[in-house]
Amino acid sequence: MKLQNQSLKYLSISILGIVILWGIIFYINTLNEIKGSIDEGLENYKRLIIQNAKKDSSILDKSYFDESFFSIERITAPKALAQKDQYIDTEIYMQDADDEEPEPEPVRMFITTFEINGKYYQLKVANSMVEEDDLINELMKGVILLYAILIISIIAINLIVLKKLWQPFYKLLDQLKGFRLGNHQALPEVNTETKEFADLKKVMDNLLQHAIKTYEQQNQFIGNASHELQTPLAIVSNNLELVLENKTLESSDAKKITETYQIVQRLIRLNRSLLLLAKIENNQFMGSHNVSINTIVAQTRDDLKEVIEFKNIKITIKDTTELSVMMDKSLANILISNLIRNAVLHNVKNGKIDIAIMDRTLKISNSSMSQKLNDPNIFRRFYKGTGKTNSTGLGLSMVKAITELYGFSIFYTHKNNLHCFELTFK
């Protein structure tokens, strides 16, 4: 979720909490104010009733509620003296003009006592709360409307004001996404008066400059090391070849020199593989072309034809679709050829290899004498599942590095005595 949307989410939740709390407090205060006003009116109504009762004794016989909203009941002196004035919320049956029969309606009732000519009476005075409830409901609707207006205003401010405020940050982020070491790109440029963004730009410039310097030093070291190693290794290899051509060489000496020559050849392959792996991990292969996986698979099979025929391996290619991927062509060849080469070299006599090319997926299965490989280690450098000494142990490491470079995924499984590598492209 974008920073803008996150700030909007938390701000909306915070305002909702504030509005709810304010609405509860507002509701309680408004209700108390309304009840206080009604209670004052009931108190005044009580005085008027008592005054009229002193003048007209027939009022004292009114024992039921009618349109005058009060009733009087004669009680004993001890009960009258023990009773205190009280205000209660209750309901009484009333019939409006649009009602077919009386319905219970909320009222505020005042219960008190008074004395006339030595006789004690209980007075109940009521006032309808219907209009007051309607008023409170309207006020609560206003609170909800206020919250809705606040949220709409915040969204509008977020889309217009905050988007403009955060524009330098997103501009810097977009430039950083497209920045690649080794492409001789200029450092990201952002013009802003916001101190935090300016500080971020300054920190990013320092980090990038350090990364560029380290990257260039590393490339120079890799190039120099590769060159310095290749030259003496090539000389040693050539000299050993010349010695082996000497017909007067003893067989025992020839055997030792041959073993030394094989070790030198392995060192040459190892040096090339390490150099290639370093270039892959340093993103020095960033060319993108539409590469046909079907073509690379067929070409690799043809390149390994002699080994396949020597081991009498049955290879089956099932291509149900034409699979094309946007990536560097040389890396695509390394990726596919390493997987197929492993399936051939680690196979058994009269074994088999099944290659399935599906929609965005390449699946390579092969028979082998070895059991299931160690899953956590198969892509680790110099790991040799079969223990062969002539392998550099870097083939699957390069496969993993290439998949991580392009965001592909590769999985290993072992089922029905078959080693299976499944490569899924973006």
* Cα 165 from Cα 188, distance rounded (Å): 18
CA distance 140 to 327: 62
pLDDT band at 2 (very low <50, low <70, confident <90, very high): low
Encoded tokens for 87: 């205000």
Whether 274 and 319 share a structural domain = no
Model confidence at 19, in pLDDT bands (50, 70, 90)? confident
271 and 373 belong to one structural domain: no
Between 366 and 8, the more confident residue is 366
Q: If you average pLDDT over each of 4-8, 216-220, 252-256, which comes out highest? A: 252-256
352 in the same domain as 387 = yes
Q: Are residues 297 and 356 in the same domain?
A: yes
Q: Which two tokens stand for residue 385?
A: 């599942």
| 273, 414, 419 from 374: Cα distances, Å | 22, 10, 12
One domain for residues 155 and 252 = no
pLDDT at 179: 74
pLDDT digits over 173-199, tens only?
888 877 766 666 677 777 777 788 888
The pLDDT, as a whole number, for residue 404 is 83
pLDDT beyond 70 at 208: yes
Q: So what's the pLDDT on residue 277?
A: 65
CATH code of the domain containing 387: 3.30.565.10
Between 94-108, 297-311, 381-395, the lowest mean confidence (pLDDT) is in 381-395
CA distance 195 to 118: 86
Is it the case that residue 391 has pLDDT exceeding 60?
no
At residue 271, φ and ψ (nearest 5 deg) are -60, -45
Gap between the Cα atoms of 16 and 150, Å rounded: 10
Q: Is the pLDDT of residue 375 over 50?
A: yes
Q: Under DSSP, is residue 42 helix (H, G, I), strand (E, B) or coil?
A: helix
Considering the domain boundaries, does residue 72 fall inside one?
Answer: yes
Instruction: Note the maximum CA span of the chain.
Output: 154
Q: Is the same domain home to 23 and 108?
A: yes
pLDDT digits (tens, 9 = 90+) for 110-133: 999 999 988 899 999 988 877 766
Reported confidence tier of residue 160, pLDDT bands at 50, 70, 90: confident
Higher-confidence residue: 294 or 370?
A: 294
Find the mean pLDDT for residues 246-269: 75
Among 235, 263, 281, the domain-final residue is: 281
Instruction: Determine, yes or no, domain membership for 166.
Output: no
Name the pLDDT band for 284 (thresholds 50, 70, 90).
Answer: low
3-state DSSP assignment of residue 183: coil
CB 27 within 8 A of CB 136: yes
Determine the structural domain holding residue 275 and report its residue range. Answer: 195-281
pLDDT of 355:
93
Q: How confident is the model at residue 236 (pLDDT cuts 50, 70, 90)?
A: confident
The type of residue at 197 is F
Whether residue 26 is found in the same domain as residue 141: yes
| Residue 400: partners with Cβ closer than 8 Å, 6 or more residues away | 379, 410
Residue 178 lies in a domain: no
Q: Which residue has the higher pLDDT, 221 or 48?
A: 48
Report the pLDDT averaged over residues 206-228: 76
* Predicted confidence band of residue 312 (pLDDT cuts 50, 70, 90): very high
- Residue 185 inside a domain? The answer is no
> What is the percent of the chain with per-residue pLDDT over 70, rounded to a whole number?
84
Residue 173 domain flag: no
pLDDT above 90: residue 246? no
The pLDDT assigned to 389 comes to 46
- Return the pLDDT at 354: 93
Q: Are residues 367 and 324 in the same domain?
A: yes
Which positions ≥6 away from 307 have C-beta within 8 Å? 344, 345
State the Cα–Cα distance between residues 346 and 386, nearest whole angstrom.
Answer: 8
Contact 353, 365 (CB under 8 A): yes
The pairs formed by 268-275 with CB atoms below 8 angstroms and a separation of 24 or more are 268/230, 268/233, 268/234, 268/237, 269/392, 270/392, 270/394, 271/226, 271/229, 271/230, 271/233, 273/392, 273/394, 273/395, 273/398, 274/394, 275/222, 275/226
Q: What is the DSSP letter of 325?
A: E
386 confidence band (pLDDT: 50, 70, 90): low
User: Could you read off the pLDDT of 72-89 as tens digits, one per residue?
Assistant: 988 998 998 888 989 998
Is the same domain home to 237 and 294? no
Inter-residue contact 406 to 283 (CB < 8 Å) = no
Which region among 11-25, 46-60, 256-270, 412-426 has the lowest average model confidence (pLDDT)? 256-270
Residue the block writes with tokens 């160690």: 374
Q: What is the pLDDT of residue 274?
A: 67
pLDDT number for residue 294: 92
- Is residue 148 domain-shared with residue 16, that is, in the same domain? yes
Q: Do 307 and 369 belong together in one domain?
A: yes
In a shared domain, residues 26 and 148:
yes
How many Å apart are CA 251 and CA 70, to the nearest integer?
133
